[in-house]
Amino acid sequence: MGETFVVVGGDAAGMSAASKAKRDAPEVDAVVFEKGDWVSYSACGMPYYIEGSVESLSDLVAVDPREFVEERDIDLRLRHEVTGIDPERETVTVRNERGSFDQPYDSLLIATGARATAPPVAGTDLGCVFTLRSLDEARAIREAAERSEANGDAPREPVGPDRKPPEEADPDEDVSAFLRARDPAVVGIVGGGYVGLELADALYERGLEVHLFQRSPHVLGPYADAVAEVVENHLRDRGVRLHLGTPVTGLAGDADVSAVETPDGSVPVDMAILGTGVAPNVELAAEAGVRLGGTGAIATDPYNRTNLDDVYAAGDCAEVQHLITDAPTYVPLALTANRHGRAVGRTVAGRPTKGGGVVGTAVAKVMELEVARTGLTDPDEARDAGFEPVERTITTGSRASYDPGRAPITIHVAADAPTGRLLGASMVGADRVAKRIDTVATALHAGMTLDEVERLDLSYAPPFSPVWDPVLTAAKVLNGALPE
Ligand SMILES: Cc1cc2nc3c(=O)[nH]c(=O)nc-3n(C[C@H](O)[C@H](O)[C@H](O)COP(=O)(O)OP(=O)(O)OC[C@H]3O[C@@H](n4cnc5c(N)ncnc54)[C@H](O)[C@@H]3O)c2cc1C
């Protein structure tokens, strides 16, 4: 019998680790405990399922659970929650519907992910208030939206306070069944980050009237204002009601939400979605003595080891090294979870492997626009890390001037004035922004200066880019602004 590798959490980080360990060292016994019903699912695809472009929830499951068991020989236990870790005895306590038991481990991976957080205001526990983290929550939101669509051609009339009470709704039923009996037409989305914007897009496409509330003056906090303004103008043009610089002070209603309250007044809604951020699931680890870092997530070394012997952490529950600031950071994204999980699997299989740092690269679709960022785009953050940021924003065309597919692209780029080192960029446009950000991310990984970025040999043909790709143009403009 081989070593026992126990994994807590069966999504991106956990299943990547178990799969890699088994592939590289088939003699390892890999046991995965997942407290829910789903494993290896794409949370990132949930907005598209809600919008309707992804047909079924099962389309979001990357690998069927049976494949893990039958083909990869992983001992996968669904609906098994790990409730305690005893690092002295090297066991975890597991609860399932039949009771509790202890499971010994030789190596343990904590891959418990993150959860959506609610803002500290009254009313977030009302009915028809949702967060979006699990597939079950995605199903409930889509059912609510589909009900709206089925209710005819005039869904954009606000109906909050005048909506007739549902005839057959039973508040004791589960939320999905309850929502099937509702006809929401107006949604209030709290938070203008990725989840809030992707849901604004999805629910608008579904025919709901969308109100989006953002506490700060602009959506997309880590983006340059000029980039965020392009997104805001696009949302407004399409009919989304933006409430910027507007903190939500509460959600009102009796059993169900009926209004979003702000200092400017009350906005009637039929449902509300909280897109106000995530918090790492660290309680299980912390109770066992695992050290947390300054961000509140689990502190790890480059091999994803925690302070406890034989205990690793990876994915949305853990910190990761920022390659520009050289400090631990918390950037809970899917590629990092997969990459770090896989690295832990290799380590457990006998080949110690680093997960690698991040530069904070992210991209999202907001209606027709692609918005993306990487690196340090906030001058305060750059100064805190010891840099002297200088920045410029350009707007140029995505392709040759005569190409019919050309669309404007706005790029904000930042560099360190004394050294010329590229620090980061954010960008928005309707044509190929998503891939252009990867050029910048790669340059950041290589620690390039603006001089070096300007001389990159990038591809050109009229249907794809101007002769000078917009990334090169942005680097040239900023390079010209550096002090001699
Ligand atoms: C709406 C949405 C859109 C997103 N879009 C993108 C995107 O476009 N790009 C991107 O890079 N990232 C995106 N993400 C983030 C991405 O989904 C996460 O980074 C990724 O899922 C993290 O994987 P993970 O395995 O670390 O954690 P999770 O996916 O959170 O999985 C953790 C698992 O652990 C289980 N668990 C927790 N505690 C226990 C316990 N005690 N016992 C047993 N099981 C337990 C949970 O049930 C869960 O299944 C999005 C997330 C959301 C919610």
Domain CATH for 448: 3.50.50.60
Q: Which atom of ligand 1 is nearest to the CA of 333?
A: 19
- Looking at 302, 323, 348, which one is the last position of a domain? 348
* Within a domain: 211: yes
Q: Are residues 252 and 139 in the same domain?
A: yes
Q: Which domain holds residue 313?
A: 4-44+61-115+278-348
CA of 60 to the centre of ligand 1 (A): 13
Q: Are residues 189 and 314 in the same domain?
A: no
Q: Are residues 98 and 224 in the same domain?
A: no
Q: Is the CB of 438 within 6 Å of ligand 1?
A: no
Q: Are residues 288 and 226 in the same domain?
A: no
Q: How far apart are CA 202 and CA 457, in angstroms?
A: 38
pLDDT tens string for the chain (484 positions)? 579 999 999 999 999 999 999 999 999 999 999 999 999 889 999 999 999 899 898 899 988 899 999 999 999 999 999 999 999 999 999 999 999 999 999 999 999 999 999 999 999 999 999 999 989 889 988 887 877 666 544 433 322 233 333 333 333 343 344 445 567 899 999 999 999 999 999 999 999 999 999 999 999 988 999 999 999 999 999 999 999 999 999 999 999 999 999 999 999 999 999 999 999 999 999 999 999 999 999 999 999 999 999 999 999 999 999 999 999 999 999 999 999 999 999 999 999 999 999 999 999 999 999 999 999 999 999 999 999 999 999 999 999 999 999 999 999 999 999 999 999 999 999 999 998 999 999 999 999 999 999 999 999 999 999 999 999 999 999 999 998 7
Q: What pLDDT does residue 175 have?
A: 37
- Identity of the amino acid at 49: Y
Q: Is the CB of 183 within 6 Å of ligand 1?
A: no
* Within a domain: 121: no
The question of whether 128 is a catalytic residue gets the answer no
Q: What pLDDT does residue 151 have?
A: 57
Q: Are residues 258 and 140 in the same domain?
A: yes
Q: What pLDDT does residue 150 have?
A: 62
Q: What pLDDT does residue 349 have?
A: 98
Give me the helix-helix angle, 470-481 and 433-445, nearest 10°: 50
Q: What pLDDT does residue 144 have?
A: 78
Q: Is the CB of 477 within 6 Å of ligand 1?
A: no
Q: Are residues 224 and 164 in the same domain?
A: yes
Q: Strand 209-214 to strand 241-244: parallel, antiparallel, or no bridges (unpaired)?
A: parallel
Does residue 9 come out as left (phi exceeding 0), alpha (psi in the -120 to 50 range) or beta?
left
Domain total in the chain: 3
CA of 44 to the centre of ligand 1 (A): 9
CA of 175 to the centre of ligand 1 (A): 22
Does residue 205 come out as left (phi exceeding 0), alpha (psi in the -120 to 50 range) or beta?
alpha
Residue 201, classed as helix, strand or coil, is helix
Q: Are residues 226 and 101 in the same domain?
A: no
CA dihedral sign, ordered 437, 443, 448, 450: negative
The active-site residue out of 2, 42, 44, 134 is: 44
Q: How far apart are CA 221 and CA 350, in angstroms?
A: 41
> Cβ of 362: how many Cβ atoms within 10 Å?
19
Q: Are residues 30 and 73 in the same domain?
A: yes
Q: Are residues 371 and 415 in the same domain?
A: yes
Q: What pLDDT does residue 483 have?
A: 83
Q: What pLDDT does residue 437 have?
A: 98
**Inter-CA distances, 130 with 123, 242, 267, 370, Å:** 12, 19, 17, 25
Cα torsion 179, 180, 183, 188 to 10°: value is: 30
Considering only CA atoms, which of 447, 468, 446, 470 is closest in space to residue 392?
470
Q: What pLDDT does residue 177 have?
A: 42
DSSP state letter for 397? E
- Judged on CB neighbours under 10 Å (0-12, 13-18, 19+), 140 is buried
